[in-house]
Structure 1
Amino acid sequence: MSADRRTIGFNFLSQPELPAPRVSEQQAERLLAEHYGLTAGAVSLGSQQDRNFLVTAADGTIAGVLKVANPAFNATELAAQDLAAELIANAEPHLRVSVPLPNTTGEKYTAVDGLVDTTAYVRLLRHLPGGTLLESGYLAPAAVAGLGDVAGRVSRALADFTHPGLDRVLQWDLRYGADVVAALLSHVPDVALRERIDAAAREAWSRIDALADALPRQAVHLDLTDANVVVTRTAGAVVPDGVIDFGDLTDSWAVSELAITASSVLGHPGAGPTSVLPAIRAFHRIRPLSPDEAAAVWPLLVLRTAVLIVSGAQQAALDPDNDYITEQADEEQRMFEQATSVPIDVMTAVLVADLGLDTPAPPLRGQLIEPTRVTTLDLGPLSDAYDDGRWQRPDVDDETACAALTDSTGVAVSEYGVPRLSRTVKLSQGSPDVVATGIDMWSASEIALQAPWDGEVVRATADEVTLRGVDHEVTVIGARRNAPLGSLTTGAALATVAPYEAVRVSVRPVGAPVAPPYVSADLAPGWLALTRDPRPLLGLTPTTPVPRPDLLARRDASFAAVQEHYYRTPPQIERGWRHHLLSTAGRCYLDMVNNVTVLGHAHPRVADTAARQLRKLNTNSRFNYEVVVEFSERLAATLPDPLDTVFLVNSGSEASDLALRLAMAATGRRDVVAVREAYHGWTYGTDAVSTSIADNPNALATRPEWVHTVESPNSFRGKYRVADAARYAADAVRRIDELIAAGRPPAAFICESVYGNAGGMALPDGYLQQVYAAVRAGGGLAVSDEVQVGYGRLGSWFWGFQQQDAVPDIVSVAKSTGNGYPLGAVITSRAVAEAFRSQGYFFSSTGGSPLSCAIGITVLDVLEEERLQDNAARVGGHLKRRLVELAERHPLIGTVHGTGLYLGVEMVRDRHTLEPATEETAAICDRMLELGVVIQPTGDHQNILKTKPPLCIDVEGADFYVDTLDRVLSEGW
C-alpha cells in the first residue's frame, strides 16, 4: 500500500502519528452546555486516539458519552459511522447500538474550532448501560460465543453498506497490518520481543497474502472487541448485546471483523488459543465463513496482536500521560503470547475442523517393515491395562506391549490419535498432552526398518532418523540408525529396532511443523491434521475413529430425562481411581462430590472381593450363609446399645423408608415429624418427609397430612442464628408437644444428624438430645438418617449422631456401606425389629446378598486398615482451615460449614443480607470443571459447594481444590 494514495478519509501510512486530542473535563463540560444545552459533569474515559467522557446529568443519570474525535478524522468519515450505527440498530433489533444524539441545532456532530490546533468534531452518543467485556476477568464460553454472535450480526447488517467515508487507510485494517508493523516496530523497546513480533507478523502475512484475493470485502466495524461490546449483566453471567464506538469503521476483508473480535478473548485470564472457538462458531452460524476465510482467521488474529503491541508502543511514546494505553499493554502482550503459542497452521486446522470444513487426508503409502504379525495394543482410556491405578506407572505401556509379544516374530504397536491415559496428569488445571501424534512400536526380536519411499535423510543421530520424500517425512526415534545423511531409495535400510525397546514412528506432510509426541485434546484436531497415521507403513489399516451418536442424545432417547446429569456439557467419565475421575479424553479430574465411594473409586480390595464372591455364590438372604451374619455383626458392633439388629436393603431411600415403616409398626401410629429443607429419598415414604425445594420445588406444598415439619435448624441463614440457634430445639419440642396434645403423637422424628442439604452444617448443640427426648416422651421413636454423613466422614465421629452425644432408636445408612455398590442398612433394637412382624415379613431380593455383604465387610475392613476416618479428620481439618482463610479474601464466601470431609462452602452476594449467590455458584462449578475439579452446588438455594470427596483424599488434593477455587474467585467465572 502506498503511503501517498489519495483517500477520502484518513490515511495512517501517510500520517502515522495520532496523539489523542488534549481536552480537559472542564472543556468537555463547556462543550455539553454550549452545544447540547446540558449542565452535566464529564469524567474522562479511556481511549487511544480520541477523547471520550462519561456524561452525568445533575440528577445523577448518565446522559451519554461525549466523544471528541481525533482531528485527523473528517466529517465524511463521521457521517459514515453514524449511518452504520443506525443501520445496525434497525437491522438487528436485539442488539443495543450507541447511536449519536442530536445537538441543539439537530445535528449529529458538531464542528468545534479552537479546542485543538485544527477543527475537531464532537458527538454525544447514547450511553449503553452494563459496561463492557473488558471489565470482566475470565470469559466463560457462553460469553465468548455471545461476543462472536454480536460480531456476526454486525457483519451481516453491514454486508451491503457503502459510503465515501469508508475510503480510509487505518492502522487497524489488517490489509495494511504488515506495513503497520514494519513502520512502528522500532517503538518496541524490548529487542527479543521486537524480533518475535517481526517474525510472527511476517509468517502471518505470508498466509494472508496467499488468500487475499479470495477474501470478500465489505464495511466492517473493525473494533468489536471486549472494549466495545456492551453486556447485560446477570448474577452468574454476562450477555454481550450492545455495540459502541464506530470510529474504526472502514471497508476491508469481512473476516477481519471476526479475527479482531476473537483476538480480544485471548487477553483475559484463563484464556488459551482454543478459548476463541465459541466466538468463531457463533459468527459462522450467522455469517458463514468460506474455507478461505476460515483459513485466514488465525493468521489475521496473529497479525492483529502484533499490530496492537507496536501501535501501543508508538502511542505510549506520543502520549505518555495516557493511562489507558499503559493499562492495555499487559493485556495486549498476553494476547500476542497466546496467539503465537501454537503454530498458525495448527490453530487453523483446529478451527477448520471445529467448523466442519476440513477434508480427509489422502492415504499414506509405503512399507516400513517386512510383512509380519502385528498386534494392535489398546492403550486408550478404557484399556484394561490401566486398571487398579496402573495408568500412573511410568512403565505401564512398555509392560503391556511386552506382555503382548507372545512369539519371537511378533510386533506390537499403539494406536495413532488416541488419548493415552498413561500420559495424563493428576491435579492439573490445564488439559494434559495425552493424544498421540504418532505410534509406538515394540518387537520381540531385532527387526530392520526400511525406507518406505525414495527420499533424503535430513536428520540422523544415534537413535533418530528422518527421511523426507516427495510428500511426507517419516521420523523414527529410539531405533539404531543405519542410514547416513543423503539420498535413500525405497527398501534401503533405515534403522534397526532392538527387542522389547519402544520405538516411536511419526509421519507428517513435507513442510508441516514437527508435532510433539503427545498433544492436548483441544489442540489434537489441529496437530492430527498436520500428521499422518504411520500404521499403513506397517501393513495395518489406519486408526479411524468410529462415528458414534452423541452420548447425551442417546441418554435422553432411552434414559428418563428426569434423571438429571451433572453439568450442561459434561465430560464422559468411564474410569475412576481413589479421589480422581478420568474422562475418555484422557483428562484427570479431582472428585470433590463423590461421597458414595467412601474408600475411593475402583478400590482393588472391593473389586477382588466382588470377583471372588461372584465365582462362588450370589443369591438372597433367605438362604443360610455366613457372610450375611458376619456383616450384620460387624455393622451392629459400630453402634451403641441397644442398636443391635440389622435390616439390609439396596439404597438410602429404601433404608430411610424402612426406618419410617419400622417406627410406624412399633408405635402403631402414622404421623411423622421431619425437619424442613432436608432430603431423605425418592420412595413414597422418604419423599413424603423430604422438604428440600432444591430436589422438589413443590415439596412444602405437597406434604401428606401425616407429615409435620419443624423449622430448619440453619444457624447461618435461618430464623435463629449463631447463639440464638439453641432456640430451634425448643421450637421443635413445642411442635411435638402440640401434636401429642392434639391426639396425634408422632411415630417418629427423622433428621439427618448433620444437615446435609445445607452443605454439611452441624446441628445446634444439644438439638438431637432435646428433640429425641420429646418424641420419646410421647411414645415415638428417633430416626437418624446417616445415609450421607455416617461411616467416619466427620473424622472425629464414626456416626453423625455421636457429635450430638445422642443415641437414636433407628439408624438408616447407605452410600458408603458398599463403596458404590448398592447396599444400605437399617439398624435398630431387637424390640423395634420384632414389632415389624405385625406388617407381615420383610424381604429384599439383593439386600443382604452374599455379594453385598462381602463388599460391606471389605469396606469396613479398609476403613479401619487405611485409617480413613483419621484421614477425614486430618485432611478435612486442613481443608476447612484453608477454606476459612479463603473466605477472608473473597467476600462471595459467606461461610464454611461442616467438619471432617463433610463440608459446604456457602456463597452469598452480601454477607449482611445473605442473599444467595445461586447463579454465581453454578458458574463457579462450570469454571472449576474446566480447571480439573468436579464440584456441584447444593442447598435449597443451590448456593453451596457440596464438598464431600472420597475419604482417601490427601492434603495435595485438598490444596488443589482450594487453590483452584481461589483462582476462579480471583479471575472470574
Structure 2
Amino acid sequence: MNGFNFFEQPELPAPQVSDAAAQQLLADHYGVAARVTSLGSQQDQNFLVSADDGDVLGVLKVANPAFTADELHAQDAAAALIADAEPDVRVAVPLPNRAGQVLTEVTGLLEGTAYVRYLRYLPGGALVDDGFLAPEVIAGLGELSGRVSRALATFEHPGLDRALQWDLRYGKAVVDTLAEHVGDPALRARIEQAAADATHRIDAVADALPRQAVHLDLTDANVVATRVVGAPVPDGLIDFGDLSDSWAVSELAVTASSVLGHPGCGPTSILPAVKAFHAIRPLSRTEANALWPLLVLRTAVLLVSDAQQAAVDPDNEYVTGQTDGQARMFTIATSVPIDVMTGVIIAELGFPQQHSPLIAEPLIVGLDPATVTTLDLSSTSEVFDAGAFGTAVEDAAARTAVDGGASLVVTRFGEPRLTRAPFLAQDTPDVVSTGVTLWPAHTTTLAAPWSGRVDTEDGAVVLHGGDYVVTVTDAVAVAGGRVEAGAPFATIDEDRWSSVTIRPASAPVAPPYVPADVANGWLALTRDPRPLLGLDALSADAERDLLARRDSSFARVQEHYYDAPPQIERGWRHHLMSTRGRVYLDMVNNVAVLGHAHPRVADAANRQLRRLNTNSRFNYEAVVEYSERLTATLPDALDTVFLVNSGSEASDLAIRLALAATGRRDVVAMREAYHGWTYGTDAVSTSTADNPNALTTRPDWVHTVESPNSFRGKYRGDDVGEYAADAVASIRELVAQGRPPAGFICETVYGNAGGMALPDGYLAEVYGALRASGGLAIADEVQVGFGRLGHWFWGFHQQGVIPDIVSVAKSTGNGYPLGAVITSRAVADAFSSQGYFFSSTGGSPLSCAIGLTVLDVLAEEDLQGNALRVGGHLKARLEELGERHPIIGTVHGMGLYLGVEMVRDRDTLTPATVETAAICNRMLDLGVVIQPTGDHQNILKTKPPLCIDRTGADFYVDALDRVLTEGW
C-alpha cells in the first residue's frame, strides 16, 4: 500500500500550526497578506483567510504529515475532474502558489515535511449548522452525491491506494480497534453489536458491490449551499481528504448518514437523498441492500473515532463539539432494524419484493370462509361514522359481527388502523398492523400450519417451523415441544382479540403496529396469515397514484393543498384523518364551522333526503323557517333573504342587487380582497395571490381603493384613519365624474389578508360617503361571519355599522353548499327589474334543514363563546411566540380568525413568502394542516372549526414553536 494505512498509524492528532505561522506561510508562498483564523478539522489544520474588510479570500489547509504527496495530488485531481465534469457543482479547487504549483512542500514547520494548499473559498456556508433539513434540501444532498459519484466513476490514481478509518470496507476492524475509547460500557456494547450486525449483512453482498473512487466525506459538514430565498441549495463541495477507492454505494451511505444529525429528522428522512442519488447514478438491488448496513456502520465508526480522537487530541474543539450530533446519528440509525430499513429503501426505489408463497395446513380446521367477517378499520370504514374512535371500536364492531352470525372476525393485514391513531401527535403513530387479529364466536382451537416446536414466549404461544414462526397472543398452548402439521397447538377464547403474526425464521420480531413510513420494511419481513384461514390475501391497491388520476380527469387549475398531500378521507370535529392512519389538526377549515362530520348535520340531511328535496318554487316550511331564523341574527332593516349555493354566488348576487336597486353600473372594491370566481365576483376580486393579473384586468366598472393594511400598508399607527379619508375621496371623485357607484363591497374583517381588523371607524366613514351619493353598502361575511369573531356574530358589528346587503356562505352549511344574501325588502323588490331570481338547490328543503341545524348547534354548543375563549387564548400564545421568534411580524385578527404574519425583517417588513410555505410543509409533518394567505402568501391563516378546544390550540402553537426553533 503506497498511501496512509490507519491500522499502522491509528493515532493522528491534528498538526499544531499557529495563526501567525499560517499567516507567514500564506505571505511567503502565495503572496497574500491577509488575516487567518483557525478552523476546525479532525486530522488536518485549516485556516480561514480574510481581507481586512472581512471578505473571505480562501482557505489555507495544512495536511497531516501522515499523508503522502501522491494522496494529496489525487485529491486535487479529483476536485479538478468534478469541476470539469459537473460545471454546476462548485468545487473548492486549490489555487497555485508563486511557483505555479497547487501543492506547497514546506520543511521546518512540523516534524517531517508539511504539505500546504490554498483553496478557493466557496461562499454560502456548510449545511452542518442548519437545523431541520427540508426534503428538498436532503434531495439536493443526494443529487450532489450522485453527481460526484458519476464524475469519479472512471477516476484512477496511485494516491487512492490507502486504508482510511473512514473507508467502510474496514469499518468493523476500525470499531474493534477503537471501541475501547468509548467510556460508557453500555454504549460501547451497542456500538460493537451494531457494527457486527451491519458487517454481517455487508459481507453477504460485498463481492458484488462495485468499487470506484469516492469522496467518502460528502456530508453536511463538507457540502456548501447557495443561500437563495427559502431552502438552501446544496451545490458546493469541499475537503477531499478522505478520497479513496472503495464501494461506490459508500458515497451515498456517508451522505445520508449526516442527515440523521439534524433535528426533526428520522430514519426515513434519508429517502429523498436516496431517490435523488438513484436518479443520477442508479443503484443496483445489491447496493440498495447494502446501503442501510453501511450507514449504520458509518455512524458506529464516527462514534469510536471521535472517542479516540478526543483522547489523542483533547484540545481539538472541532472533535469534541461533534459528539452529540454523532450520537444522535447512531441512535436514529439503530432505532429501526437493519432489515426493516432495507425493505423501506427497496420499496422506495421500486424494486419488487421477493416473497415465497406460504405452503401450509389450515390454521383453523373446518373453518367455512363464508362465515368469516373481515373487519375494516381504515379511515374509510363505516365503524367510525358515529364519531367513535379508539380501540373500543374494534371490540364493538367484532361483537356486532358475531351477533350477526359470524363465526370469526378477522382484521386486515398491513392495514393502517385509525383506531390506533392518537388525535394530537407530532410523531407518526404506530398504526399499520403486521399481523391479523381474530375474534372468534366460540373458543377455537388453532392447528399447526407446519411441523415445528411450540414454546411460550412473553405470554404468547410461538410455533417455530423450519422457515417460519407463528406467534399467537392471548392464547393458551395445548401442546409443548414438537408438533406435527395439522395438530392442535393453541386455543383462543371467545369475546376477545388474539393476534396472529407470521415471520420468516431469520426476521426480527415485528411490533404489532408500526408507523406508516416504515411499514413497507416491516411488511416485507412478515406474511399475511389470512390464506391460512382460507381467505384471500389483501393486496395493496395497484391503481395509479391518486394525484396522477386526479390530474388526468380533474382540471388542474383546481389546486390542492401541498405538493405531496396526504389522502384525507375522514374528518371529525377539528381533526382530519388520512388513509395512512394519521390524524391532523385542522387549522384552516372555516367551512366546517361546527366541526367535521357533525352528527346533527348528518342526521338532519338523512331525514330530509328520505322525506323531500326539491326547489324553492314549491311551498314548504323549511325555507320560510330558515329565512326567519337567519334574519333574526341581523338588524331589523335586513329582513329579506335570497338563498344560493356558494359564497361566490352570494356576493355576485349582492352586486347585481346593488346595480338593480340603484340603476348604476360602477362598483367600488377594496384591494387585496377575494370575493369569488363568478364573472361579477372575480371582477371585484383584487388579490394578486388568487389572480396575479388582478389589478391589471379589472373591467372599467370596478374602481379600487387602498387596502387599509395597518401593519404594512401606506398608513400605519396614528395615520390609519387616512385610509377611510382616501376611500371617501375616491367615491366623491366618481360622483364628480358622473359615475356615482352602485355599491361598495368589502370583507368586514379583512379575511383574505389574514383576519386583519379594519381601522376603527373605517366602514362608518366609507358607508356614509357611499350612502350620501345614493350607493349601497355590501358586507362580504363569507369568511368571518357566523360567530367566528367571538365578540360579534357578524363582522360588521365590530365596526358598529349596518350594511345594506350581506352575503354569507361557508359556515352556513357546515360544508354543505349553502349561501345567502340578506337585504331590505326594498332592495330585494328592486331586483324584479332584472326578471325573477331562482336557484335550483339554493333554498332547497335539504339546504334549509342543514342551515337550521347549523344555527341550532351554534347556539346550543356555544361555539361563538368558544371562539371568544379559545381564540383569545390562542392569540395570546401566538403573540408570546412572536416575542421569541423574530420571523413573526404580528398576529392579526380576533376570535378564531387569526393571521400569523411572517417577515424576514421587522423593520423593512419584507414578506417571508417562501419561508411561510416551507413552515406549512413542516407543520404538516408534525400533524397540523395550515396554509398561507394574503397577497404575499406570508400569513398563516388560522381559522379552524369553531369547536376547537384549548388543547388543540396549544398543540398548534407548540408545533409552530418547534418548527420556528428547529427550522423548516
Tell me if TM exceeds 0.5.
Answer: yes
Query: CA separation in 1, counterparts of 2:123 and 2:542?
Result: 46
Query: CA separation in 1, counterparts of 2:386 and 2:932?
Result: 30
Q: CA deviation at 1:394?
A: 2.6
For 2:162, which of 155, 164, 168 is the aligned residue? 168
Q: CA deviation at 1:460?
A: 5.1
Are 1:20 and 2:14 counterparts?
yes
Could you say what secondary structure the match of 1:143 adopts?
helix
Amino acid at match of 1:694: A
Contact 2:614 2:844 in 1 (8 A): yes
Which residue in 1 is equivalent to 2:91? 97
Query: CA separation in 2, counterparts of 1:70 and 1:545?
Result: 55
Could you say what secondary structure the match of 1:241 adopts?
strand
For 2:414, which of 410, 414, 417 is the aligned residue? 417
Q: CA deviation at 1:920?
A: 0.4
Could you say what secondary structure the match of 1:937 adopts?
strand
Are 1:563 and 2:561 counterparts?
no
Amino acid at match of 2:88: H
Which deviates more, 58-67 or 942-951? 58-67
Contact 1:821 1:852 in 2 (8 A): yes
Contact 1:409 1:445 in 2 (8 A): no
Could you say what secondary structure the match of 1:405 adopts?
helix
Amino acid at match of 1:26: A
Q: Residue 384 and residue 407 in structure 1: after superposition, are their counterparts in 2 closer, same or farther (change >3 A)?
A: closer
Contact 1:782 1:809 in 2 (8 A): yes
Identity %: 71
Contact 1:39 1:58 in 2 (8 A): no
Query: CA separation in 2, counterparts of 1:304 and 1:800?
Result: 60
- Kindly report which structure 2 residues correspond to 1:227-246, keeping only aligned pairs within 5 A, or say none: 227-246=221-240
Which residue in 2 is equivalent to 1:687? 682
What RMSD in Å do the two structures reach over aligned CA positions? 1.1
Query: CA separation in 1, counterparts of 2:488 and 2:383?
Result: 34
For residues 726-782 of structure 1, give each alpha carbon's deviation from its aligned partner in whole angstroms, at most 9, with x where no partner exists: 111111111111111221111101110000121000000000111111100000111
Which residue in 2 is equivalent to 1:333? 327
Query: CA separation in 1, counterparts of 2:819 and 2:26?
Result: 75
Query: CA separation in 2, counterparts of 1:960 and 1:325?
Result: 37
Contact 1:408 1:445 in 2 (8 A): no
Q: CA deviation at 1:409?
A: 6.6
Amino acid at match of 2:475: A
Query: CA separation in 2, counterparts of 1:460 and 1:567?
Result: 46
For residues 570-620 of structure 1, give each alpha carbon's deviation from its aligned partner in whole angstroms, at most 9, with x where no partner exists: 111111111001101111001000110000000000000000000000000
Query: CA separation in 1, counterparts of 2:445 and 2:186?
Result: 45
For 1:581, which of 576, 581, 593 is the aligned residue? 576
Contact 1:407 1:444 in 2 (8 A): no
TM-score normalised per structure 2? 0.99
Which residue in 2 is equivalent to 1:394? 391
For 1:457, which of 444, 454, 459 is the aligned residue? 454
Q: CA deviation at 1:656?
A: 0.5
Query: CA separation in 1, counterparts of 2:957 and 2:637?
Result: 42
Which residue in 1 is equivalent to 2:493? 498
Q: Residue 334 and residue 460 in structure 1: after superposition, are their counterparts in 2 closer, same or farther (change >3 A)?
A: closer
Pairs aligned (count)? 964
Query: CA separation in 2, counterparts of 1:469 and 1:448?
Result: 19
Contact 1:388 1:603 in 2 (8 A): no
Which residue in 2 is equivalent to 1:483? 479
Are 1:384 and 2:382 counterparts?
yes
Contact 1:824 1:847 in 2 (8 A): yes
Query: CA separation in 1, counterparts of 2:457 and 2:300?
Result: 37
Query: CA separation in 1, counterparts of 2:693 and 2:813?
Result: 32
Which residue in 1 is equivalent to 2:244? 250
Query: CA separation in 1, counterparts of 2:609 and 2:868?
Result: 35
Contact 1:598 1:952 in 2 (8 A): yes
Contact 2:414 2:435 in 1 (8 A): yes
- Kindly report which structure 2 residues correspond to 1:589-600, keeping only aligned pairs within 5 A, or say none: 589-600=584-595
Could you say what secondary structure the match of 1:388 adopts?
coil
Q: CA deviation at 1:290?
A: 1.5
Query: CA separation in 1, counterparts of 2:42 and 2:192?
Result: 23
- Kindly report which structure 2 residues correspond to 1:691-730, keeping only aligned pairs within 5 A, or say none: 691-730=686-725
Query: CA separation in 1, counterparts of 2:545 and 2:821?
Result: 41
Are 1:471 and 2:467 counterparts?
yes
Contact 2:456 2:477 in 1 (8 A): no
Query: CA separation in 2, counterparts of 1:565 and 1:935?
Result: 13
Could you say what secondary structure the match of 1:758 adopts?
coil
Are 1:225 and 2:219 counterparts?
yes
Q: CA deviation at 1:406?
A: 4.3
Contact 2:615 2:841 in 1 (8 A): yes
For residues 784-806 of structure 1, give each alpha carbon's deviation from its aligned partner in whole angstroms, at most 9, with x where no partner exists: 00000000000000000000111
Amino acid at match of 1:90: D
Which residue in 1 is equivalent to 2:179? 185
Which residue in 2 is equivalent to 1:508? 503
Query: CA separation in 2, counterparts of 1:234 and 1:457?
Result: 62
Contact 2:390 2:421 in 1 (8 A): no
Query: CA separation in 2, counterparts of 1:956 and 1:557?
Result: 40
Which residue in 2 is equivalent to 1:878? 873
Contact 1:790 1:813 in 2 (8 A): yes
- Kindly report which structure 2 residues correspond to 1:304-453, keeping only aligned pairs within 5 A, or say none: 304-366=298-360, 367-370=362-365, 371-372=367-368, 373-390=371-388, 392-406=389-403, 410-453=407-450
Contact 1:148 1:261 in 2 (8 A): yes
Contact 1:365 1:536 in 2 (8 A): no
Mark the runs of 5 or more structure 2 residues left unpaired by the alignment. Answer: none
For 2:130, which of 126, 129, 136 is the aligned residue? 136
Query: CA separation in 2, counterparts of 1:375 and 1:762?
Result: 56
Q: CA deviation at 1:408?
A: 6.2
For 1:749, which of 744, 749, 753 is the aligned residue? 744
Query: CA separation in 2, counterparts of 1:741 and 1:817?
Result: 40
Amino acid at match of 1:413: V
Query: CA separation in 1, counterparts of 2:888 and 2:767?
Result: 34
Which residue in 1 is equivalent to 2:906? 911
Which residue in 1 is equivalent to 2:763? 768
Contact 1:236 1:922 in 2 (8 A): no
For residues 942-972 of structure 1, give each alpha carbon's deviation from its aligned partner in whole angstroms, at most 9, with x where no partner exists: 0000100000001011011111011111111
Amino acid at match of 1:803: Q
Query: CA separation in 1, counterparts of 2:406 and 2:395?
Result: 17
Q: CA deviation at 1:360?
A: 3.2
For residues 886-911 of structure 1, give each alpha carbon's deviation from its aligned partner in whole angstroms, at most 9, with x where no partner exists: 00000000000000000000000000
Q: CA deviation at 1:491?
A: 1.7
Could you say what secondary structure the match of 1:702 adopts?
coil
Contact 1:460 1:483 in 2 (8 A): no
For residues 508-559 of structure 1, give each alpha carbon's deviation from its aligned partner in whole angstroms, at most 9, with x where no partner exists: 0002100000101111000000000001111111111130111111111111
Are 1:942 and 2:937 counterparts?
yes
Contact 2:754 2:898 in 1 (8 A): yes
Query: CA separation in 1, counterparts of 2:320 and 2:390?
Result: 48
Mark the runs of 5 or more structure 1 residues left unpaired by the alignment. Answer: 1-6
Could you say what secondary structure the match of 1:712 adopts?
coil
Are 1:636 and 2:631 counterparts?
yes
Which residue in 1 is equivalent to 2:803? 808
Query: CA separation in 1, counterparts of 2:113 and 2:457?
Result: 68
Which residue in 2 is equivalent to 1:4? none
Amino acid at match of 1:416: F
Are 1:572 and 2:570 counterparts?
no
Amino acid at match of 2:468: H
For 1:622, which of 604, 617, 625 is the aligned residue? 617
Are 1:270 and 2:267 counterparts?
no
Query: CA separation in 2, counterparts of 1:429 and 1:790?
Result: 32
TM-score normalised per structure 1? 0.98
For residues 381-406 of structure 1, give each alpha carbon's deviation from its aligned partner in whole angstroms, at most 9, with x where no partner exists: 2110111321x233111111221124
Amino acid at match of 1:467: L
For residues 694-740 of structure 1, give each alpha carbon's deviation from its aligned partner in whole angstroms, at most 9, with x where no partner exists: 00111111111111111100000000012211111111111111111
